[in-house]
Amino acid sequence: MALLDWIAAEPSLRVDGEGVYLRPPRGSDFAEWRDLRAQSREFLQPWEPTWAEDDLTRAAFRRRLAAYQRDRETGAAYSFLVFRQKDDVLTGGITLSNIRRGVAQMGTVGYWCGRPFARQGQTIAAVRALTQFAFRRLGLHRLEAACVPQNVPSRRLLSGAGFIEEGEARAYLKINGVWRDHVLFGLVSLLRSHEGPDSGFSV
């Protein structure tokens, strides 16, 4: 096994959805990830934080994997790549971050989709799969997500995945170098509060 795979991979952690599956990034994903991000740069950059100059280098990817591993070990976040089930092609990424326990039991959902796969259904399937992972496997009670008001496809995606628009936050995140207002969405688990995590996912 390659060193980067040993550092960052959790081969048994996989979340299956409708036509897609999610798994943590591995060192061997670098070339496919880099190529998809590179060809999608103009498509993604208006909705993301400013990319670092070395963002698509192997060294930067290595740092990402190490950070993802630390987050998983502490339960602070789970970062996944999204693959199409029929041919194992990488279509994007999705993250459950800012996980808070105690009386909150919530986390934040973020995602990206490569330009060639936009509006094909893989991203909403990934959001739905991550939602079930968060509620059933991790036992979270609430999920949050946000997007800039002008990102109409993302607003529609979140609504289609069951999230409810809850309001707007001013200057919420620094996107593409500018502090941008965001529309806030929330989703609350329908599981009874006394139910704990189940074993419906392979971990």
Residue 6: the pLDDT is 35
- Its pTM stands at 0.88
Nearest-angstrom CA–CA distance, 74 and 99: 10
Three-class DSSP category at 71: helix
Residue 52: the pLDDT is 94
Residue 190: the pLDDT is 86
Nearest-angstrom CA–CA distance, 188 and 190: 6
Question: Residue 202: is its pLDDT beyond 90?
Answer: no
164-175 vs 178-188, strand pairing mode? antiparallel
- Residue 175 token pair: 């996107």
Residue 12: the pLDDT is 75
Residue 191: the pLDDT is 73
In-domain check, residue 79: yes
Question: Residue 2: is its pLDDT beyond 50?
Answer: no
If you average pLDDT over every residue of the chain, what do you get? 90
User: What's the pLDDT band for 4 if we cut at 50, 70, 90?
Assistant: very low
> Domain limits at 177?
3-188
Q: Minimum mean pLDDT among 25-29, 154-158, 165-169, 198-202: which range?
A: 198-202
* Rg, Å, the chain Cα set: 16
Q: Give tens-digit pLDDT for 48-93.
A: 999 999 999 999 999 999 999 999 999 999 999 999 999 999 999 9
Q: What is the DSSP string of 140-183?
A: -SEEEEEE-TT-HHHHHHHHHTT-EEEEEEEEEEEETTEEEEEE
In-domain check, residue 194: no
Residue 57 sits in a domain of what CATH number? 3.40.630.30
- Chain centroid to Cα 203, Å, comes to 17
Q: Give tens-digit pLDDT for 15-44.
A: 999 999 999 999 999 999 999 999 999 999
Residue 198: the pLDDT is 46
In-domain check, residue 112: yes
In-domain check, residue 15: yes
In-domain check, residue 200: no
Which of the pair, 192 or 132, is modelled with greater confidence?
132
In-domain check, residue 193: no
In-domain check, residue 168: yes
- Chain centroid to Cα 30, Å, comes to 17
Q: How many domains is the chain partitioned into structurally?
A: 1
Residue 199: the pLDDT is 36
H helix or E strand, kind and range, residue 118 = none
In-domain check, residue 119: yes
Residue 11: the pLDDT is 52
Question: Residue 9: is its pLDDT beyond 80?
Answer: no
Residue 38: the pLDDT is 98
- Bridge partners of 105? none
Question: Residue 143: is its pLDDT beyond 60?
Answer: yes
